[in-house]
DNA sequence: GCGTTCACG
DNA sequence: ACGTACGTGAACGCC
């Protein structure tokens, strides 16, 4: 058997691990406050490597210090690098301990870099007939690739690696691994801080290396080069090139004091590892260890719990519950309108009561408890609990703490529907996740074993109770208590009501439309096949791409990661090339209506009431908006006339009733005017201007009374949208089909005309960089860890989000406040009208015809007075017999 | 389960 | 040299 050697570039992997997890750095600390992200990442890498490569010998090489023979010959070698953060330095000794406990050797050598140790051992191993795997985060080491040595360079994170063999190097660069040294000598290395030859980058360097073979050969034959600037630079920088070649060369004969024989790998020392993981707080690794070594550790990680199983005969025991209880009704399926009930738990630290029999909830002692307005309820997902209990004829009153909702407000990423996962986010570990207890995928099931199920329920209720104080304190710290108490929690009840009410949908209308669409679809389909000359699956972008771009040879406009793009914007550019393009666009439009809106909606009409009951997700979006699922009622077609017809099926649930709808006009731009304080933008709104027209006047420098043609208004509108989304000249140019230069000019003009907006953008990004988050007018928070990202595109995205989130999020805050007040008004005035839908800036109601005049007054009044901004809010209302027929 | 496309604000 | 407007959900093909 060929022996195998594993060589790991310790420093570079530790760096990678540290920065890969930089965003979550705060989560990776042990009980002593030691940062552990790099240790954790190193361990991940190690496991991953050892799973795929079984070494007989293994070594992790480290740099010995800053001074090396390279710094002695070139002062600035690796100069200009930032100081290694303390959070990383403190982890290095622990990484070395991890290496030792894992059964690997580690080594460093004064005056030499880890690279040189690796290069030297790889050479010895090559000579001795070993197969060697080098793992590193540094691409420089690819020069060591050979027939028997593969270099794995981390790609993304620490476990995703790219394997460099001589063939792979050849394929990527067209040169041999050893020639990488020559390439680097010519092009330099900015991270190691040596320059190379002036004006020569990777492309030119590779060309020269291919042509001449090496730096030495190049200078042998320098006269053969034609006269050029490049030749002058080469001649001028010859000394530098030769010196850089030495710097770039990894030694293969460093004076190391170890040999292959010293590197034997005989597997981990499990007892030591268990101790180490405990010290680091690596629970997941502990769990994965051999059970012999963990023992009952797994069980012991969750504090035991006792509970009382409720029956019809012991309900009187509940009398002891006073003041405050935690309650959890288990509905194992996501859709709580239809999910079966698996059981429930109620109680406090004194005693947890539980049962599988939800019928017990209807018995007086329990029902009265839940409906009692003097006993505070602590729950997880208030809205789901309200709906679930409503199905059992129970009204859940006096909800105090909602773990899910509070957790979401503290950090919008903590939005799992799994209580165990959310608890873990807050460092509470005495509860398992549903996935652990119920399994996942097809195997997911509520366990038959009472002990397992009941203790899971009881630990969930306990988790809610134990996290309450801590999360309330954190909300307070963030100034988010009013957001929780006055907006989100009351909103949960309003949303529950809307979902329970549901919206009446006429199935027959949908079916009739469906048959027409089916006919039309068949027609277009045969036209497309005719045009293509064969039958294929039009829904498959792969097959469609083949037909359009290979068979019909249409020009390729845009590519995707996996092939040709066939999206609308690409196809529109081909419309004049072949009739098949328009046919495909029409096919797509109709197929979408058919599958998503006809069949899709028909599937979710409840047979008992002919209504659709969506679920609003209150804890999902990163901005504070709602989202709607099962089905999504926030994206019913409206823009195109064909799609808009779908709305004819949305009808009132009673004879003699109508649909009524009010929407905010330009709410996001008004919010922008408010939070930026921009004088010009505020004046335009205060003067009741058509905002896109007045923007056009300003950015195109027109007279105040100038006529604005449609195209100008369209462009100005795009600029306004662009500002809200975090604009780039490229993006704007794409959208309104102008040159990038023109788009750039529009944006410059905008910032000149609206200097307050410009200042807001700068200030907000600065705030995000300083604090790591941004806020809305109600102190809703969004964290933006990528605001510090090295990657331009990641960082840019975070910057755009930083300025967009306060705008989109504040608009969401406003309509949420309006919804709560609106529901109050409907009840206070004993109106029959029902709030049915929220579509971000619009509220849809159904009401008896005679109440329409009342709503026409009331709804806009409530909506435009929801908050007081520095600019007025404007609301438009419409009504009609169906959602399609709405008119002013 | 992921990628692409397209529906909405 | 890069990659490009914010926030969502559903259907479908493909692996």
pLDDT 10s digits, A671-729: 999 999 999 999 999 999 999 999 999 999 999 888 999 999 999 999 999 999 988 88
Q: Strand B nucleotides below 7 A of a protein CB?
A: 1, 3-9
Whether pLDDT at A194 is above 50: yes
Q: Is A568's CB less than 7 Å from nucleic acid strand B?
A: yes
**Residue A309 CA to nucleotide C15 C1', Å?**
47
Q: Which nucleotide is nearest to A736 (CA to C1')?
A: C5
Closest protein residue to B1 (Cα–C1'): A441
| Residue bearing the bigger pLDDT, A371 or A232 | A371
Interaxial angle between packed helices A852-864 and A792-828, expressed in degrees from 0 to 180 and rounded to the nearest 10: 140
**Residue A331 CA to nucleotide B6 C1', Å?**
33
Q: What are phi and psi of A457, to 5 degrees?
A: -60, -45
Q: How far apart are CA A145 and CA A178, in angstroms?
A: 8
**Strand C interface, A 179-238, C-beta < 7 A:** 201, 203
Q: Strand C nucleotides below 7 A of a protein CB?
A: 1-15
Closest protein residue to C5 (Cα–C1'): A725
Residue A755: the pLDDT is 95
Q: Is A719's CB less than 7 Å from nucleic acid strand C?
A: yes
What dihedral do alpha carbons A221, A227, A229, A232 form, nearest 10°? 50
Q: Is A734's CB less than 7 Å from nucleic acid strand C?
A: yes
Predicted TM-score (pTM) of this structure: 0.73
Q: Is A841's CB less than 7 Å from nucleic acid strand B?
A: yes
The distance in angstroms from the start CA to the end CA of chain A is 84
**Strand C interface, A 603-642, C-beta < 7 A:** 603, 617, 620-623, 625, 627-632, 634-635
- Residue closest to A403 by CA, chosen among A336, A456, A466: A466
Residue A592: the pLDDT is 93
Whether pLDDT at A287 is above 70: no
| Residue bearing the bigger pLDDT, A366 or A195 | A366
Taking the mean position of all CA atoms in its chain, how far away is CA A800?
15
Please list the residues that pair with A329 across neighbouring strands: A344
Q: Is A373's CB less than 7 Å from nucleic acid strand C?
A: no
Determine the number of helices (DSSP H) and then strands (DSSP E) in chain A: 39, 22
DSSP state for residue A24 in the 8-state scheme: G
Closest protein residue to B7 (Cα–C1'): A635
**Strand C interface, A 538-557, C-beta < 7 A:** 539-540, 542-543
Contact between residue A884 and residue A877 where contact means Cβ atoms under 8 Å apart: no
Q: Is A610's CB less than 7 Å from nucleic acid strand B?
A: no
| Residue bearing the bigger pLDDT, A50 or A32 | A50
Which tokens in the block code for residue A448?
Answer: 């038959």
Contact between residue A51 and residue A96 where contact means Cβ atoms under 8 Å apart: no
- Residue closest to A823 by CA, chosen among A374, A487, A400: A487
Which tokens in the block code for residue A646?
Answer: 């779908």
**Residue A708 CA to nucleotide C9 C1', Å?**
37
Q: How far apart are CA A233 and CA A236, in angstroms?
A: 5
Do β-strands A399-402 and A343-348 pair in parallel, antiparallel, or remain unpaired? unpaired
Whether pLDDT at A578 is above 80: yes
Task: Tell me the per-residue pLDDT of A141-186, one tens digit each, with 9 for 90 and over.
Answer: 888 999 999 888 887 677 777 788 888 888 888 889 999 888 888 8
Q: Out of A43-57, A413-427, A836-850, give the one with best mean pLDDT.
A: A836-850
Question: What average pLDDT does the structure give for chain A?
Answer: 90
Task: Tell me the per-residue pLDDT of A754-769, one tens digit each, with 9 for 90 and over.
Answer: 999 999 999 999 999 9
Task: Tell me the per-residue pLDDT of A631-664, one tens digit each, with 9 for 90 and over.
Answer: 999 999 999 999 999 999 999 999 999 999 999 9
Q: How far apart are CA A92 and CA A76, in angstroms?
A: 25
**Strand C interface, A 518-537, C-beta < 7 A:** 537
Half-sphere exposure of A786 (CA within 13 A, CB side): 13
Total residues found in chain A within this entry: 888
- Residue closest to A603 by CA, chosen among A501, A503, A512, A510: A510
Q: Classify residue A730 by burial, with Cβ atoms within 10 Å: 0-12, 13-18, 19+.
A: exposed
Residue A301: the pLDDT is 72
**Strand C interface, A 12-71, C-beta < 7 A:** none
Q: Which nucleotide is nearest to A560 (CA to C1')?
A: B4
DSSP state for residue A611 in the 8-state scheme: E
Whether pLDDT at A27 is above 70: no
Task: Tell me the per-residue pLDDT of A709-725, one tens digit each, with 9 for 90 and over.
Answer: 999 999 999 999 999 99
Residue A25: the pLDDT is 65
Q: How far apart are CA A555 and CA A30, in angstroms?
A: 57
Residue A782: the pLDDT is 95
**Strand C interface, A 741-800, C-beta < 7 A:** 792-793, 796-797, 800
């Amino acid at each position: 058997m060929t022996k195998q050697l594993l060589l790991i570039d310790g420093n570079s992997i530790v760096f990678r691990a540290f920065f890969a997890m930089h965003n979550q750095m705060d989560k990776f600390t042990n009980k002593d406050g030691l940062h552990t992200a790099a240790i954790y990442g190193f361990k991940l890498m190690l496991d991953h490597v050892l799973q795929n490569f079984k070494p007989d010998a293994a070594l992790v090489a480290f740099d010995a210090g800053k001074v090396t023979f390279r710094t002695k010959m070139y002062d600035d070698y690796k100069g200009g690098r930032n100081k290694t953060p303390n959070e990383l330095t403190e982890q290095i000794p622990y990484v070395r301990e991890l290496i030792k406990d894992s059964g690997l050797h580690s080594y460093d050598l004064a005056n030499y870099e880890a690279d040189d140790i690796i290069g030297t051992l790889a050479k010895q191993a090559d000579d001795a007939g070993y197969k060697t795997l080098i793992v590193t985060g540094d691409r420089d080491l690819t020069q060591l690739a050979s027939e028997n040595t593969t270099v794995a360079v981390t790609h993304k994170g620490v476990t995703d690696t790219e394997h460099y063999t001589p063939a792979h190097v050849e394929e990527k660069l067209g040169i041999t691994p050893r020639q990488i040294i020559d390439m680097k000598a010519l092009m330099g290395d900015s991270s190691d801080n040596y320059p190379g030859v002036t004006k020569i980058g990777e492309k030119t360097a590779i060309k020269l290396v291919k042509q001449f073979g090496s730096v030495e050969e190049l200078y042998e034959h320098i006269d053969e080069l034609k006269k050029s600037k490049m030749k002058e630079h080469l001649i001028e920088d010859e000394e530098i090139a030769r010196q850089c070649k030495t710097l770039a060369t990894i030694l293969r004969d460093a004076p190391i004091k170890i040999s292959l024989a010293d590197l034997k790998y005989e597997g981990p020392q499990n007892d030591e590892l268990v101790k180490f993981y405990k010290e680091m707080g690596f629970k997941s690794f502990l769990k994965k260890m051999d059970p012999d070594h963990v023992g009952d550790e797994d069980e012991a990680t969750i504090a035991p719990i006792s509970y009382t199983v409720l029956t019809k005969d012991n309900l009187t025991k509940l009398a002891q519950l006073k003041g405050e209880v935690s309650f959890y009704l288990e509905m194992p399926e996501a859709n709580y309108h239809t999910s079966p009930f698996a059981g429930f738990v109620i109680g406090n630290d004194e005693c947890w009561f539980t049962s599988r029999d939800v019928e017990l909830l209807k018995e007086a002692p329990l029902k009265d408890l839940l409906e009692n307005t003097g006993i505070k309820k602590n729950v997880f997902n208030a809205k789901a609990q309200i709906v679930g209990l409503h199905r059992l004829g129970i009204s859940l009153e006096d909800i105090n703490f909602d773990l899910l909702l509070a957790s979401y407000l503290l950090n919008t990423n903590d939005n799992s529907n799994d209580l165990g996962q959310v608890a873990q986010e807050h460092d509470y570990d005495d509860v398992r996740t549903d996935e652990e207890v119920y399994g996942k995928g097809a195997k997911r099931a509520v366990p038959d074993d009472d002990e397992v199920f009941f203790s899971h329920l009881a630990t969930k209720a306990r988790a809610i109770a134990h996290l309450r104080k801590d999360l309330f304190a954190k909300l307070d710290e963030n100034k988010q208590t009013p957001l929780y108490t006055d907006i989100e929690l009351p909103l949960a009840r309003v949303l529950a009501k809307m979902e329970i009410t549901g919206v009446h949908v006429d199935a027959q209308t949908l079916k009739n439309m469906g048959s027409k669409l089916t006919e039309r679809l068949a027609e277009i389909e045969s036209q497309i096949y005719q045009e293509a000359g064969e039958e294929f699956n039009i829904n498959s972008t792969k097959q469609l791409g083949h037909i359009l771009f290979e068979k019909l040879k249409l020009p390729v406009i845009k590519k995707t990661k996996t092939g040709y793009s066939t999206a609308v914007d690409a196809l529109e550019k081909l419309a004049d090339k072949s009739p098949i393009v328009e046919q495909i666009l029409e096919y797509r439009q109709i197929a979408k209506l058919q599958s998503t809106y006809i069949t899709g909606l028909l599937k979710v009409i409840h047979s008992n009431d002919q209504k659709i009951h969506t679920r609003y997700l209150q804890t999902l979006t990163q901005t504070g908006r709602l989202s709607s699922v099962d089905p999504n009622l926030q994206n019913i077609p409206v823009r195109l006339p064909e799609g808009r017809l779908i709305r004819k099926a949305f009808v009132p649930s009673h004879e003699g009733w109508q649909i009524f709808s009010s929407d905010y006009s330009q709410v996001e731009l008004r919010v922008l005017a408010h939070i930026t304080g921009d004088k010009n933008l505020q004046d335009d709104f205060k003067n009741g201007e058509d905002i896109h027209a007045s923007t056009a006047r300003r950015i195109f420098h027109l007279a105040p009374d100038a006529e604005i043609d449609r195209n100008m208004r369209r462009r100005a509108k795009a600029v306004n949208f662009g500002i809200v989304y975090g604009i780039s000249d490229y993006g704007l140019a794409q959208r309104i089909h102008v040159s990038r230069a023109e788009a750039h000019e529009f944006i410059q003009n905008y910032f000149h005309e609206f200097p307050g907006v410009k200042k807001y953008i700068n200030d907000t990004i600065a705030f995000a960089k300083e604090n790591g988050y941004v806020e809305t007018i109600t102190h809703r928070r969004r964290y933006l860890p990528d605001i510090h990202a090295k990657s331009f595109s990641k960082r840019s995205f975070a910057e755009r989000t930083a300025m967009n989130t306060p705008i989109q999020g504040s608009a969401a805050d406003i309509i949420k406040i309006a919804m709560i007040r609106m529901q109050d008004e409907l009840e206070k005035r004993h109106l029959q009208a029902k709030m049915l839908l929220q579509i971000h800036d619009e509220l849809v109601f159904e009401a008896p015809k005679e109440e329409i005049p009342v709503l026409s007054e009331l709804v806009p009044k409530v909506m435009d007075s929801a908050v007081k901004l520095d600019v007025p809010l404007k609301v438009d209302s419409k009504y009609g017999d169906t959602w399609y027929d709405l008119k002013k």
